[in-house]
Amino acid sequence: MPDKPGNDYLDIAADVAAAIGAGDAVVALESTIISHGMPYPRNVETALAVQNVIREGGAVPATIAIWQGRLKVGLSDSEIRQLGAQGPKVLKTSRRDLPFVIANRKNGATTVAATMIIAAMAGIRVFATGGIGGVHRGVAETMDISADLEELAQTSVAVVCAGVKSVLDIGRTLEYLETVGVPVVGYRTDTLPAFYARSSGFPVDYRIDSAAEAAAALRIKLDLQLPGGLVIAVPIPKQHALNGDDINDIIAEAIGEMNRQGITGKETTPFLLAKIAERTDGESLEANIQLVMNNARLATDIAIQFAKL
């Protein structure tokens, strides 16, 4: 087990610890997507299926959460089922929440930011998720900016995703990432994916066409001791993509309803995802599931290539 700050609070599953110790490929997974991102029981089914995709690809999955006040790297199937059944009752946990969830011995579902922190503590460098957080629409009035962006600026983990969540201000999010020095890389695309849609229209900083290229860039970034992560964005498969214009109209309506109800902070994204799923008759949920699976496949390939270095 790595001798790093946080080890007194860190529990690494035996198979994950063995893989880390041997220098084998490991892929971190977040848990907020289980508790707050999808309804039960699809959340559990998806979480277990994503782990299987990673195993079948030749890497070891490490789903991360806070479990009874411990930083858990590698949830068991039973723990995933319990987390999924509890759903939104589980505390959504980002960087600021970690000391309090641990001190009170609570269960916590980790966001992108918290998952990156715990993955780095454990020595895992590749993380697969759905989409990253960012600058919220209407930021001039709300100043609502996800902690994910600051974490990407300081924690050295590659985040494989389907771009920035469609409900956010993608252009301002990219400006923020540029300011804090986070490379945004497109996998076989010149434009940033927009979660449900294959393209946002915004250019990426760099294009890569293989997992080996991503692994090499990550290795060099670590060797140069440049703090911060990489955003590796892969478009949702064509057969599962939604029409960008249609989804934007639905998002705009959902945001209007959210504002009328006075929903803010941590509750915004779960509210919007639920409303979008409702308005698309479940198509957005299916798209979400498929893009997470797709991201996990690429993250597995990158982790394997990284292990070879």
Number of C-beta neighbours around residue 201 at 10 A: 11
Closest listed residue to residue 303, CA positions, set 164, 159, 186, 121: 159
- Give residue 4's pLDDT band: very low, low, confident or very high (50, 70, 90): low
- The per-residue pLDDT for range 80-134, each reduced to its tens digit, is 999 999 999 999 999 999 999 999 999 999 999 999 999 999 999 999 999 999 9
**What's residue 271's pLDDT?**
84
d(CA 93, CA 97) in angstroms, rounded, equals 5
Does the annotation mark 275 as catalytic? no
Tokens 């918290």 locate to 114
Decide if 257 is catalytic: no
pLDDT at 2: 47
Do β-strands 60-67 and 70-73 pair in parallel, antiparallel, or remain unpaired? Answer: antiparallel
Side chain identity, residue 266? K
Query: In DSSP terms, which residues pair with 12 in a beta bridge?
Result: 73
Q: What is the mean pLDDT of residues 175-203?
A: 96
Q: How many CB atoms lie within 10 A of CB 258?
A: 17
Percent above pLDDT 90 for the chain: 80
- Give me the residues paired with residue 231 across strands: 159, 184
pLDDT at 1 over 70: no
CA angle 295–299–304, rounded 5-degree value: 155
Residue of 30, 79, 92, 151 with catalytic role: 30
> Could you give the domains of the chain?
7-308 (3.40.1790.10)
pTM for the model? 0.93
| Rounded-to-integer distance, Cα 254 and Cα 241, Å | 20
Band (265; pLDDT cuts 50, 70, 90)? confident
Q: Over 70: is that where the pLDDT of 3 sits?
A: no
pLDDT digits 0-9 by tens, 203-240: 999 999 999 999 999 999 999 999 999 999 999 999 99
Distance of alpha carbon 75 from alpha carbon 12, whole angstroms: 9
Q: SS3 of 161, please?
A: strand
Give the mean pLDDT of 235-256: 90
Q: How far apart are CA 266 and CA 254, in angstroms?
A: 16
* Burial of 205 per CB tally in 10 Å (0-12, 13-18, 19+): middle
Mean pLDDT of 233-262: 90
User: Which residue among 79, 92, 151, 165 is the active-site one?
Assistant: 165
CA 215 to CA 48: how far, in whole Å? 25
Amino acid at 52: N
